[in-house]
Amino acid sequence: MTRRTRRTSGRVTLDDVARRVGVSKITISRALREPWRVSEGLRQRIDAAIDELGYIPNRQAGALASARSRSIALLVPSLSNAVFSEVIRGVDEGFVGSGYQVLLGHTSYSREEEAHLIDTYLSFGVDGFIISGSQHTESARQRLARAGLPICEIMELPEAPLDMAVGFDHEAAGHALTTALLELGYRQLGFIGARMDYRARRRFAGWQRALNEAGLSADACLTTEAPSDYRLGGCLLGTLLERHSGLEMVCCGNDDLAAGALFECQRRGITVPDQLGLTGYNGLDITEATTPTLSTVVTPRRRIGIAAATQMLSRLENGRVTQPLQDLGFEIALRESTRARGE
């Protein structure tokens, strides 16, 4: 029955360390956050005590007191889509050594789920948001606006960014790829797409525009809202080929579909690229591994992540940012699944 109060968890606190060393707890706190303001000898005793006691700071208390959590939320549509693992890696890289913790969330391609996650992470007191895409619910926009936190929208180039943005133009990418194919001499082009989210629709639109501009038909297309995977690529290709004869080339909305389409061609004895050309989108590892390798659009996912983190950090620390809208471009990679020029 000492003067002890609640202290339900046996957890070691700043106070415990302070008592152990014989100083006040604010000194311990300082030794941790501003070591140079604490005398050498004391600092060593403090470090030793922290080690002995196994003290672990309580970030909740710290965040409550300082009104900053030193954490940011990163919201991506999917964790199973390899596209985003590179983005995540980039963001992580960008925050390494900064003292910020990245809190990861996945929205399952749902704006409602995104809105919910935004609330959740707001209640966690994150200091900023990095969010894939520009399509948010009205409610989410309001919450974010009200919170007044730094926000970086990634992957695309929003017409009206909430705050900052890093990405590239998917419509232009779709258009550029298709134009490159036209230059190779392809005239009968098809398109298959799955999980037609905003970005997927943009690249599809680019494909259509390129064909329209060339006076070619853009009718041989087949898209679905279903999640993308390898087998779906095969199915869509099969259906497309049944419906449209004479296709020389099928552009796939992403690399998974393209790989699946390639496997289907192998199953059917269709040689690629001799009988049929194939392209993907994103430049995942698999596009360089298959036989034949897959032509695709290489997107700067890792660099987007790094740039977003850098932008966010600069905003968080210095307050301002030099370039609120960054276009990181893309690269057309023509490989073995498309015929060589003049062939």
Q: Which positions touch its own copies (CB under 8 A)?
A: 8-11, 54, 56-61, 63-64, 67, 69, 79-80, 82, 85-86, 88-89, 101, 103-104, 119-120, 122-125, 142-143, 146-148, 229-231, 233-234, 259-260, 263-264, 266-267, 285-286, 288-291
Q: How far is the CB of 113 from DNA (least distance, A)?
A: 23
Burial (CB < 10 A; 0-12, 13-18, 19+), residue 195, is buried
The count of residues interacting with DNA (CB under 7 A) is 32
DSSP E strand stretches across the chain: 71-76, 101-106, 129-132, 151-155, 164-167, 189-193, 221-223, 249-252, 277-279, 296-298, 325-327, 331-333
Q: Give which of its own copies, DNA, none residue 291 binds (C-beta under 5 to 8 Å, depending on kind).
A: its own copies
- Could you give the CA distance from residue 32 to residue 288 in angstroms, rounded to a whole number? 48
Q: Which is nearer to DNA, 57 or 329 (CB)?
A: 57
Determine, following the binding rule CB under 7 A, whether residue 119 of this chain makes contact with DNA.
no
Among 113, 177, 123, 206, which Cα is nearest to 131's? 113
Q: Which is nearer to DNA, 291 or 318 (CB)?
A: 318
Per-residue interface string for the shown chain with DNA, residues 22-61, x marking contact by CB under 7 A = -xxxxx-xx-xx--xxxx--x------------x-xx--x
Q: Give which of its own copies, DNA, none residue 120 binds (C-beta under 5 to 8 Å, depending on kind).
A: its own copies
Per-residue interface string for the shown chain with DNA, residues 59-78, x marking contact by CB under 7 A = --xx-xxxx-----------
DSSP assigned state of 231: H
Q: Give which of DNA, its own copies, none residue 29 binds (C-beta under 5 to 8 Å, depending on kind).
A: DNA
Give how far the C-alpha of residue 12 lies from the chain's centroid of Cα atoms, to the nearest Å. Answer: 37
Name residues whose C-beta falls within 8 Å of residue 264's C-beta, 6 or more positions apart in sequence.
233, 234, 235, 237, 238
Q: Give which of DNA, its own copies, none residue 234 binds (C-beta under 5 to 8 Å, depending on kind).
A: its own copies
In angstroms, what CA-CA distances link 83 with 15, 54, 318? 46, 39, 31
- Could you give the CA distance from residue 49 to residue 70 in angstroms, rounded to a whole number? 25
Q: Give which of DNA, its own copies, none residue 2 binds (C-beta under 5 to 8 Å, depending on kind).
A: none
- Could you give the CA distance from residue 170 to residue 235 in angstroms, rounded to a whole number? 25
Q: Give which of its own copies, DNA, none residue 263 binds (C-beta under 5 to 8 Å, depending on kind).
A: its own copies
List residues near DNA by CB under 7 A. Answer: 5-9, 11, 13-15, 23-27, 29-30, 32-33, 36-39, 42, 55, 57-58, 61-62, 64-67
